[in-house]
Amino acid sequence: MRRLAVLKTWQLQQQGKFDDLKQSQGQLQQQYQAHQQRLALLEDLPAQYALASGHQTSAMMLKGIGRFRHQVDNLTRLQRQEMALTEVEMRSLNQRLVDQHRQVKMGETVVAKREAVMQQRRDKQEQKMLDELAMQRFVRGR
């Protein structure tokens, strides 16, 4: 009986870890989507600052636009790196999630088997007592 309580406690702990990992997975997916949105904004930004042909601009303006585009390119590259890191984290987390799910299922199986064994023992004891009572009635009835 005590062993079963320990197994149930362990199984609940494994389920708690699994739930925590699921929550982390959701947060990581939200983070990845935010990275995607920022990347899309950064990729659209240089087109907004394109100069129309025939439009006269000063050298300072061209230089400023060039620096701005260079900074946007750097930010875009950094954002892609962030996305790649988040993808790696997501794959790692997914593997941990699969492993933890396996632990949860194993715990459920072990607890169920242990409970079945205990129920069989109780059933045997009950049947033994019923057989003994029937035998006593039979002996008394003679």
Task: Let me know if residue 54 belongs to a domain.
Answer: yes
**pLDDT per residue as tens digits for the range 31-82:** 999 999 999 999 888 777 766 566 677 888 878 888 988 999 999 999 999 9
- CATH number at 81 reads 1.10.287
Residue 38: domain span: 2-109
Task: Let me know if residue 92 belongs to a domain.
Answer: yes
**Number of domains the chain is built from:** 1
**pLDDT per residue as tens digits for the range 95-142:** 999 999 999 999 999 999 999 999 999 999 999 999 999 998 888 877
How far apart, in whole angstroms, are the C-alpha atoms of residue 137 and residue 20? 59
Task: Let me know if residue 26 belongs to a domain.
Answer: yes
How far apart, in whole angstroms, are the C-alpha atoms of residue 20 and residue 38? 27
Which token pair is 103?
Answer: 């632990």
Indicate the pTM of the whole model. Answer: 0.70
Task: Let me know if residue 9 belongs to a domain.
Answer: yes
Task: Let me know if residue 28 belongs to a domain.
Answer: yes
Task: Let me know if residue 48 belongs to a domain.
Answer: yes
